Amino acid sequence: FAENDVQVFGWGNKACARAHIGGPVRAYGLWRDLSNDEEYPVMVWAFAKKG
């Protein structure tokens, strides 16, 4: 794929990841901040278009 035909996106939230990694899952809370932390991507995906 050509570089112009690929789009990459990501989402992450350090506090949410910390609540769910490394032991028993703790409830993070329904009303907690889930805003994207661009410095801490947890999920990354890409879309590519055939040229």
CB-side neighbour CA atoms (13 Å) of 35? 3
In the predicted model, is pLDDT for residue 40 greater than 70?
yes
In the predicted model, is pLDDT for residue 2 greater than 80?
yes
In the predicted model, is pLDDT for residue 22 greater than 90?
no
**Residues 8, 49 contacting (CB under 8 angstroms):** no
Return the closest-CA partner of residue 28 out of 44, 11, 14.
14
Mean pLDDT of the chain: 88
Higher pLDDT, 49 or 19: 49
pLDDT mean over 25-35? 78
pLDDT mean over 24-49? 87
